[in-house]
Amino acid sequence: MVNSQAAVLIEDLRVRRDKHEVLHGIDLRVPPGAVVGVLGPSGGGKSTLLRAIVGVQIVQSGRVDVLGLPAGSAALRSRVAYMTQGTSVYDDLTVRQNLAYFRAILGVARSEVDRVIEATDLGDVADSLVETLSGGQRSRVSLAGALLGSPELLVLDEPTVGLDPVLRGELWRLFRTLAAGGVTLLVSSHVMDEAARCDRLLLLREGEILADDTPAGLLESTGGVDTEDAFLRLIERATTDVRGVS
Amino acid sequence: MKPTATLATAARVLRQILHDPRTIALLVVVPSLLIGLMAWLFDTTPVFAQVGPAMLALFPFIVMFLVTSISTLRERRSGTLERLLTLPLRRLDIILGYALAFGVAAIVQAGVAVGFAIYVCGLDVEGSLWLLLGVAVLDAILGTTLGLLASAFARTEFQVVQFMPALVFPQVLLGGVFLPRDQLPDVLRSISDWLPLSHAIDALNAIARGTEDIGGDLLIVAAFALGAVLLGALTLRRRTP
C-alpha cells in the first residue's frame, strides 16, 4: 500500500461551520519528512484544514488519516503536536511553568523544557509571566510547547507571525533540521516569502485547493516570477474559469 | 486514569492562583467579612445563632462557584483547552485537576471562615469542629464542581455570571436560611429536598446543635459533587465546530 506511507492522507473532506461549507471536498496527500506550506488568504480554510488534521474539527464527511490512523485517535496524541492560531498558553504563568506543565502531560524528559526554550530563543524571559511578553514572544512560547518531545507530525498554524526576520530564519532552519530527521511539518502562513523554504506548497482559497505542488513546479506551471505572482495568476485563472462556465 | 496528568493540572491551576494575590485575598477574606457582617447585623437578636452555621455553607459555596466557573470558561476561550485536548490526557484529568486545586483553596477558605465565625463572631457549636470544617469544605467543593459544570454551558463571561442567580440563588432561598425548611409550602419543601445546598445547610445546623446524624446529608452533597464532575468531563468535547 502506497497510501500507508503518507503522513497525512485526506479524501473528499467537507467541513461546515454555521451552515456554510468552508472546505469543499479536499483531497490531499502529504509525504513524510516534508515541510508543507499551507498558504492562502485568511478565511480560505487554512486553520479549518489544520484543525481537521489534528482531529479537533467536527467534519461533515470525508476521510482524514494521520500517520496511518484516523485523525484524532488517542494513539496520535503524543505523536502529533499542534500549535493553534491564537497563542494558547497561560498568561498568568511564566514561560517555564507553561512548558513544564505541557511536558508533564506529555511525560517526556524534564530537560526538554530547556531544549525548547533555547530552540525558540526564550532564555532571557524564561522566568517572566507570559502576560508581560510581546506578541512575538508569546507565539514563540506556544511554538515551544509544540516542539516538546519528539512528535512525528508538527501542525503549526501561523507560527512565525510577528517575528523579526532573523528569528524567522532561525525557526525555518529548525523546521528543516526536524524534517531532515524524518519529522513532517505542516506550516500555515500568509507570508509568501516563507513559501520558498517549503518542500511543497498548498494554496488554499475559499475552501478549495488551488495548487499542491513544489515551489519550483508552481512557478513553472503558472509562469509566475515568485510565489505571490504565481498565486495571483492561479486566482485569475480560477475566476475566469468560473466566468467561462456561467 | 493518569494521576500525573491530574496532579500536574492541579499544580498548574494552583500556580495560576498564586500569581494573583488579589484573588487569593478575595477568596480567603470575603466569606469571613460577610459572616462578620451578619453577626454584627443581628448583634442584639438570637438570629445569628440560628443562621450562622448556614452562612458557613452559603458564602464558600457561592464564591467557589464563581471563581471556578469563570476560570474554566477562560480556559475554554483562550484556546488552551483545545491544546490540552490534543495532548495525551483524559478529559477527567482536566476536571479532576481543577476540582483538586480549588478543593485545596476551599480548605483554606473554609478553615478561615469557620475559625472566624467561632472565635471572632462567637458562633456556638455543640458538635465537632473538625466535622463542621469538613462539611464546609465539602460544600465549597460542591460549589467548585457545579461551577465547572456551569461553565460548559456558557460562551461568555456575562452568561456564566448569570448562572449564579439561576443556579445558586434558588438553592439559597429554599435552603432554610430565610425560612426553616419544615415551614416551607409543601411543593417548595419537596423541591428543596432535591437541592444539594439544603442538605449541606441541614448538616451544618445539625453539627452546631450537637446531633451528628448527618451521614445521609453528606452522601447527597457528595453525590451531587461527583455527578457534576462526571457530567463536566462529558461536556468537554475534543471535536468542536
Helices A95-106 and A135-147 pack at an angle, to 10 degrees, of 20
| pLDDT of A2 over the 70 cut | no
User: For residue A128, with 0-12 CB atoms within 10 Å meaning exposed, 13-18 middle and 19 or more buried, which class applies?
Assistant: middle
Least confident of A115-129, A130-144, B49-63: B49-63
Structural domain boundaries of chain B? 3-235
pLDDT, mean over chain A: 89
**Upper half-sphere CA count for residue B83 (Cβ side, 13 Å):** 29
Nearest CA in chain B to A145: B83
Amino acid letter at B151? Answer: S
Residue A17's pLDDT is 87
DSSP B195: -
- Strand partners for A153: A80, A184
| pLDDT of A42 over the 70 cut | yes
Tell me which of A16, A50, A101, A157 to substitute to probe the interface with B (most B C-beta atoms closer than 10 Å). A101
Residue B2's pLDDT is 61
| pLDDT of A221 over the 60 cut | yes
Residue A23's pLDDT is 92
- Strand partners for A83: A156
- Work out the percent of chain A whose per-residue pLDDT is above 90: 60
Distance from CA of A117 to the nearest CA of B (A): 19
In sequence order, the 6+-apart residues with CB closer than 8 A to the CB of A228 are A192
ipTM of the complex: 0.86
Does B78 reach chain A within 8 Å, measured CB to CB? yes
Please name the member of B4, B5, B82 whose beta carbon is closest to the beta carbon of A88: B82
Does B239 reach chain A within 8 Å, measured CB to CB? yes
- Work out the percent of chain A whose per-residue pLDDT is above 70: 96
Residue B124's pLDDT is 85
Contact (CB<8Å) B88/A106? yes
Please name the member of A80, A82, A104 whose beta carbon is closest to the beta carbon of B83: A82
Closest CA to B30 of B70, B1, B64: B64
Residue A236's pLDDT is 85
3-class SS of residue B7: helix
Q: All 3 cell numbers of residue A73?
A: 485517535
Residue A246's pLDDT is 46
- Write out pLDDT tens, residues A198-220: 999 999 988 999 889 998 998 89
pTM of the model: 0.87
| pLDDT of A245 over the 80 cut | no
SS (H, E, C) chain A: CCHHHCCEEEEEEEEEECCEEEEEEEEEEECCCCEEEEECCCCCCHHHHHHHHHCCECCCEEEEEECCEECCCHHHCCCEEEECCCCCCCCCCEHHHHHHHHHHHHCCCCHHHHHHHHHCCCHHHCCCEHHHCCHHHHHHHHHHHHHCCCCCEEEEECCCCCCCHHHHHHHHHHHHHHHHCCCEEEEEECCHHHHHHCCEEEEEECCEEEEEECHHHHHHHHCCCCHHHHHHHHHHHHHHHHHHHC
Please name the member of B15, B89, B241 whose beta carbon is closest to the beta carbon of A17: B241
DSSP B29: H
Q: Is the separation of the CB atoms in A63 and A10 below 8 Å?
A: yes
- Write out pLDDT tens, residues B87-100: 999 888 988 898 88
Residue B197's pLDDT is 92
Distance from CA of B93 to the nearest CA of A (A): 10
Helices B91-115 and B3-18 pack at an angle, to 10 degrees, of 50
Mean per-residue pLDDT for A124-146?
93
Residue A244's pLDDT is 54
Contact (CB<8Å) A80/B82? no
Residue with cell 466557573: B69
* Chain A CB contacts of B9 below 8 Å: 101, 105
| pLDDT of A179 over the 90 cut | yes
* Chain A CB contacts of B82 below 8 Å: 56, 84, 88
Residue A1's pLDDT is 42
Distance from CA of B119 to the nearest CA of A (A): 36
List of chain B residues with pLDDT < 50: 1
